[in-house]
């Protein structure tokens, strides 16, 4: 998306044009799944055990021996389910890495992947945030986007049904904490996986307004498009 393109944000700044979104540095950080996870971990937000990103298949295979299966191979520049493979059996790890790399290279021009432990039968919960340019961040609660096909969201529900009050509170607080830690500004979505044991982990941040922003607008009565323009 152009809305996530660091080069566009930089070109706008250079030309004296206001870019409606976070600065180049933030787009570069969030655009790399591995660096975003590292930033979340540094901010004290729960993350999964993972292997450092690499374009070397042998290196990824070797270091993944420390992880418990099932695993996910993920492209650092991935999105929309591309460059992503679930691996339940160590025997197919290498071929899964190679397939994910080919797909990532074709789709994003970068074959670099990392590996992380999978959350089995997880719910996918995302927290909508708004941040101004003075360090103030608020959340507009969460959306449940667990109904997916090929890692693409099909149905979004807000507020998330049957979500424990304390878990909701902690998840929203962690979304704000993460955004504050990377000096985020404008509208964005912090995404989590919630396991059946009640524990959740950060997986990524979308540094833009999402298609499903209208679901949040319906339950909060906040016009997110107007809000991000006013912030910018």
Catalytic residues, by residue number, are 208
Angle between helices 33-42 and 165-181 (to 10 degrees): 110
Q: Are 19 and 208 in contact (CB under 8 A)?
A: no
- In the sheet with 82-87, reading across from the earlier edge strand, the strands are 50-54, 113-117, 71-79, 82-87
Give yes or no for a contact between 141 and 219, defined as CB atoms under 8 angstroms apart.
Answer: yes
Is-cis flag, bond preceding 59, omega within 30? no
Contact criterion met (CB below 8 Å) for 70 and 86: yes
């Amino acid at each position: 998306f152009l809305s996530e393109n660091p080069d566009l944000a930089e070109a706008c700044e250079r030309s004296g044009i206001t870019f409606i979104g976070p600065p180049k540095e933030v787009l570069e950080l969030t655009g790399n799944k591995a660096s975003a996870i590292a930033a979340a971990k540094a901010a004290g937000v729960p993350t999964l055990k993972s292997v450092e990103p690499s374009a070397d298949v042998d290196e990824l295979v070797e270091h993944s021996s420390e992880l418990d299966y099932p695993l996910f191979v993920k492209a650092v520049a991935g999105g929309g389910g591309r460059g992503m493979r679930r691996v339940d059996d160590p025997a197919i790890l290498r071929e899964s890495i190679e397939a994910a790399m080919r797909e990532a290279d074709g789709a994003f021009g970068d074959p670099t992947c990392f590996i992380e432990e999978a959350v089995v039968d997880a719910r996918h919960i995302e927290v909508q945030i708004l941040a101004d340019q003075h360090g103030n961040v608020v959340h507009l609660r969460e959306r449940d986007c667990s109904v997916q096909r090929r890692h693409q969201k099909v149905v979004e529900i807000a507020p998330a049904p049957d979500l424990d009050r304390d878990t909701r509170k902690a998840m929203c607080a962690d979304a704000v904490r993460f955004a504050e830690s990377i000096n985020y500004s404008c509208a964005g979505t912090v995404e989590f996986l919630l396991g059946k044991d009640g524990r959740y982990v950060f997986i990524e941040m979308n540094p833009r307004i999402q298609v499903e922003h209208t679901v949040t607008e319906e339950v909060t009565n906040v016009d997110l498009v107007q809000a991000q323009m006013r912030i910018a």
